[in-house]
Amino acid sequence: MLSNSEKHLQVRGTEINYYFICKTKLWLFSHNIQMEQESESVSMGKQLHKKSYGREKKDFTIDNLISVDFIRRGETLELHEVKKSSKMEDAHRYQLLYYMYYLKKEKGIQNIIGFIDYPKLRKKEKVELTESEEKSLEGIIEGIGQIVHGTISKPEKKKICRKCAYYEFCWV
Amino acid sequence: MKKNYYLMSDGLLKRKENTLYFVNKDGKKPIPINKIYSIYAYGSLTFSSQSVHLLAKEGIPIHFFNYYGFYDGSFYPRETLLSGDLLVKQVEHYLNPGKRLWIAKKFIEGAAGNMEKVLGYYHVQNGIGKTVKDLTLSSNVTEAMNVEARMRSEYYSKMDEILPDGFKMEGRSRRPPENMVNALISFGNSMVYSTVISEIYNTQLNPTISYLHEPFERRYSLALDLSEMFKPILVDRLIFYMVNKRMLTEDDFEQKVDYCILNDGGRKKFIKEYDERLKKTIKHRELNRKVSYRRLIRLEAYKLIKHILGTQEYKPFVMWW
Amino acid sequence: MYVIIVYDINVDRVNKVKSFLRTHLHWIQNSVFEGEVTKSEFEEIKDGLKDIINKDEDSVILYTMRSEKALKRKVLGVEKAPIGGIL
C-alpha cells in the first residue's frame, strides 16, 4: 500500500467538475460511459472555446488527466479556463484549482495562478491555490474515489438535467 | 441533424481533401461529411481507402446490401466509445442463465406488444397476448424462442386480414421471399437491422453480445435482439400503409419463378418512406420532449445499459400511441 | 435551424470557401449552399468562413430560419442539385 504522498493523482479534471454537478454523471463518466460526443451544449462550449482567445496556445493537455484551455508563460504560469456562464462557479473553480494542485504536486511547478474567463460576460476571475483550498481538494479527491468505486447512484432530477448530455440516459 | 444516405446506384465513393463525393453515371455529388449519420449501399460501391479513413474518423458506418437487397455486412469504424466495465457486466448478464433469460423474455414481450399494436390499429383480433403469457412457463432461452416463434406465426397469419387482394402474404417465406409481401418484409427487416447497428455503434454496448439470439448466430446479434421490437412499427406498419395506399404496385417488383424482390424503383419508394418514418417524431412521456423513431432505438440501448448496470430494471419499448 | 448561404468571393479564395461549405451544407448551385444545422454547427460555419475570407473584398450572406418548414422554395428551370439522401 502506497502512502498518500507516494500515490500519483489519477483524477481527471472533468471528474472534479462533475463531482459538484452530479454524482451519477461522475460515476458514468469515470466508468467510460460517456455521452458528451452528441451533446449540443458541449459542442457549443467547444465552439466558444475555439473562437475566444484565438491567439493563445490552446488545449494544454498533461498526462491525459488534465487539460487546460490555454496557458500564458511569464514569471508565473497562468492557467486559463474558458467557461460559458458563471452558474457552476464551484465546479469551475475547483477544476482549475485541481490543475494547479496537480502541476504543483506531480510536476513540481510553483508560482501558478489561475483565471476563469467568461468571454460572454466579459469577466475574468482569479483563482489561487491556498493551503485551505489544498485541504478541500484532498477531501474532494477522496470523495470522488468513494463515488467511483461505489455503486452507481440514482440520479436526482434537477433543473440542469435538461441541458445535460446524459439527460436521455438518466430519464428514459 | 445528421441523416442517412442511401446509395442506390453503382458508383464510387471518393475523397478530395475533406470533401466526400459520390460519383455515379449522373455525375459527381458532394456529400457533406458533417451531415452523414450512416451510409446504406445498395448498388455496387467502389471506395478509396482515403474515403474510408475519413468515414472512420467521423465514426460513420456503412451498411452493404447485396443484389437482392439483403444485408451483407457493415463497415463498423473503430469504436471510440468503449467501457470495459460495461462490457464485463454485459457478458455477465449473458453468462448467468437466469439474467439472460429475463432480458430475452423482455425483448419478446416488447415485440409482442408492438405486434398487437400494429394489428390493433387495423382492428384485427388476435391471440398474441395469450400466446406470450406462455413465456412464464419457459425455463430457458430455447423455450422462450419457441413461444416467440408461435407468436410470430400467429402474427403473420393475421397480416393477410389487413393486406388487399393481390398482395397477400400466404405465410412467411424467407430465403428467398416468394411473393411481394415477403419481399417487402425481408427488405425492411434488413434495413431495421442496419439501423439498429448504427444506434448500437453510438453507445458503449458491444453489438455481438446478445440475450435472445445466440451471440454466434450472426456478427451483430444484439442488433437482432433489439430489432425484434422495432420491426412491427418500422417495417410492418409501413408495408400496410404503402400497399393499402397503392404506393407500391406489381411494377415495383421483380418476380421470378422461385423468388420475388423489390426492383430499383420499388426500393427507392420504400426507402424514402422508411427514412421519413425514422425522422418522424413523437412526444416521449418520460422525457417530456420530442424524439424521433430512430432515437427510440437509442433510448432502448440506454435502458439496456441501465439494466445491466443495475440502476433501473429494463422495460421494453411498446408503442404508447 | 435552417441556413442558406450565398457568397461573392475573390477567385483566390473561392475554392476554399466552397470546399469548406461542402463539409457542412448542400451545394445548391453556383455560390449557394443550404441545409439544416444546429446552433453550434452554425457557429462553426460562421467562424470557419471568417477565417477564410478577406473581409475587405469578399461578401457572404447567411439567411437563417427556425426550421426548413418555415421555407418555401420553388425552382424555375433546372434544379441543379436536388437535396436528398437517396442517391
232-271 in chain B: CB under 8 A from chain A? none
Residue to test with chain B: of A22, A23, A24, A33, most B Cβ within 10 A? A33
Instruction: Name the residue with higher pLDDT: A30 or A74.
Output: A30
Predicted pLDDT at A167: 96
Q: Does C24 touch chain A (CB under 8 A)?
A: no
Predicted pLDDT at A66: 81
- Measured CA to CA, the distance from residue B140 to residue C64 in angstroms comes to 57
Residues above pLDDT 90, as percent of chain B:
88
pLDDT level of residue B258 (50, 70, 90 thresholds): confident
Residue of C nearest to B33 (CA): C23
A-chain CB neighbours of B86 within 8 Å are 31-33
Residue of C nearest to B7 (CA): C87
Give me the residue from C27, C38, C81 closest to B1, CB to CB. C38
DSSP H or E stretch at residue C61? strand C59-65
Q: Does A47 touch chain C (CB under 8 A)?
A: yes
Match 405465410 to its residue by C-alpha cell.
Answer: B171
- pLDDT mean over B233-245: 96
Give me the residue from B6, B9, B33 closest to C23, CB to CB. B33
The distance of C56 to chain A (nearest Cα, Å) reads 20
Predicted pLDDT at B143: 96
Residues above pLDDT 70, as percent of chain B:
99
- pLDDT mean over C35-62: 95
Q: Could you tell me the CA-to-CA distances from B78 to A29, B18, B41, B57, B58 in Å, in that order?
A: 20, 19, 19, 9, 10
pLDDT level of residue A54 (50, 70, 90 thresholds): low
At A107-138, the pLDDT tens digits run 888 889 999 988 888 888 899 999 999 999 99
CB contact under 8 A, B284 and A169: no
Query: Of A42-51, B174-183, B259-268, where does the model show the most confidence?
Result: B259-268
Kindly state the cell numbers that stand for C35: 441545409
Kindly state the cell numbers that stand for B23: 460519383
DSSP H or E stretch at residue C60? strand C59-65
Going by DSSP bridges, is the β-strand pair A58-62/A66-73 parallel, antiparallel, or unpaired? antiparallel
C: neighbours with 3+ CB pairs under 8 Å? A, B
Predicted pLDDT at B80: 84
Predicted pLDDT at A58: 66
CB contact under 8 A, A169 and B202: no
At A60-89, the pLDDT tens digits run 788 878 888 888 888 888 888 888 877 778
At A16-26, the pLDDT tens digits run 999 999 999 99
- pLDDT mean over A36-42: 87
Predicted pLDDT at A2: 46
pLDDT tops 80 at residue B218:
no
- pLDDT mean over B234-238: 97
- pLDDT mean over B267-282: 96
Kindly state the cell numbers that stand for B320: 404508447
The whole-model pTM stands at 0.92
At B186-198, the pLDDT tens digits run 999 999 999 999 9
Q: What are phi and psi of A106, to 5 degrees?
A: -90, -30
Torsion angle in degrees (nearest 10) through CA of A132, A138, A139, A141: 140
Tell me if B41 sits within 8 A of B63, measured CB to CB: yes
If you count residue pairs, one on A and one on C, with CB atoms under 8 Å apart, how many are there?
Answer: 19
Predicted pLDDT at C40: 92
pLDDT tops 60 at residue A155:
yes
Asked whether the bond before A155 is cis by omega within 30 degrees of 0, the reply is no
Predicted pLDDT at C80: 84
At B20-69, the pLDDT tens digits run 999 999 899 999 999 999 999 999 999 999 999 999 999 999 999 998 88
- Measured CA to CA, the distance from residue B208 to residue B139 in angstroms comes to 24
- pLDDT mean over C5-17: 96
CA triple A89-A95-A100, angle to 5 deg: 125
